[in-house]
Amino acid sequence: MTDLASQGATAPLTDSDAAGPRTRRDKPEATPATGFTVWLTGLPSAGKTTIATALAGLLRATGRRVQVLDGDEVRATGSLGLGFSRADRETHVRRVGYAAQRMAARGACVLVPVIAPYAGSRAAVRTRHEAEATPYVEVHVATPVEVCSRRDVKGLYAQQAAGEPTGLTGVDDPYEPPESPDLRLDTRDSTVSACAGRLYAHLMERGLV
Ligand SMILES: Nc1ncnc2c1ncn2[C@@H]1O[C@H](COP(=O)(O)OS(=O)(=O)O)[C@@H](OP(=O)(O)O)[C@H]1O
Ligand SMILES: Nc1ncnc2c1ncn2[C@@H]1O[C@H](COP(=O)(O)OP(=O)(O)O)[C@@H](O)[C@H]1O
């Protein structure tokens, strides 16, 4: 048995195919999957990262290549040195949008849990994707600030209430809610898996999965 065969690369998936047995090797080459970007925008603690992680699991289970571009992670690397002023956030969002589009254009499912508080920079990201004919899905994780501040996953709301940091999105810094996102998720009365499932269903409707 060759190495490839020992990894199951030529094992028949079915023997009932009229054209003869299909092989695992047929799958990726015969139908290269279209990449896309899903941008999850919303307040801190809204549920962006949690839903992105759950969706990543669903997509990986079907064999898709997934890249998650988390705001904190990009800020520690590609956006190192940028803060939370309007100008810095806009630069950061456009930078992440550029990277996302390039990865999606190469077939990845790119999931972006990044606040992106300003409508203008979100529109710029969408426009970049459209210009390159890369599918783009904007999801508003529309959890109200009262709920987010109760969750307070990173303790930021409590810290802000105690005086630092100032300029917390949704509290004393702007968040411009998307007027017409592709999908709006209300996480108040839904489980994480229900939200990820709704998003997956939307991707199916769009023919992306
Ligand atoms: N002032 C202020 N406002 C908002 N968020 C703040 C702030 N300071 C730190 N953080 C934390 O930074 C995390 C990453 O933010 P993002 O890159 O997604 O933000 S932005 O799009 O540039 O606005 C973001 O992560 P999430 O909580 O996952 O949204 C925040 O926890
Ligand atoms: N339906 C839901 N979808 C996403 N998160 C939820 C949901 N219900 C409760 N949560 C909780 O809300 C918190 C969201 O945190 P996180 O995903 O880090 O937010 P964000 O990335 O938007 O800052 C997590 O503790 C998560 O378990």
Predicted pLDDT of residue 32: 54
Predicted pLDDT of residue 33: 79
Compute the distance between CA of residue 183 and CA of residue 119 in angstroms, rounded to an integer. 16
Instruction: Report yes or no on 24 lying in a domain.
Output: no
Is 199 annotated as a binding-site member? no
| Ligand 1 nearest-atom number relative to CA 48 | 28
Give distance in angstroms: CA of 64 to centre of ligand 1.
Answer: 28
106 Cβ neighbours under 8 A, 6+ residues apart = 35
Give distance in angstroms: CA of 15 to centre of ligand 2.
Answer: 44
Instruction: Report yes or no on 5 lying in a domain.
Output: no
Compute the distance between CA of residue 98 and CA of residue 53 in angstroms, rounded to an integer. 21
Q: What is the CATH number of the domain that holds 139?
A: 3.40.50.300
Mean pLDDT by 10 residues, the chain (209 residues): 31 32 41 86 98 98 97 96 98 98 98 98 98 98 98 97 95 98 96 98 97
- Cis peptide bond upstream of 165, omega within 30: yes
Residue 89's domain comprises 31-205
Task: Please write down the HEC assignment for all residues of 77-142.
Answer: CCCCCCCCCHHHHHHHHHHHHHHHHHHHHCCCEEEEECCCCCHHHHHHHHHHHHHCCCCEEEEEEC
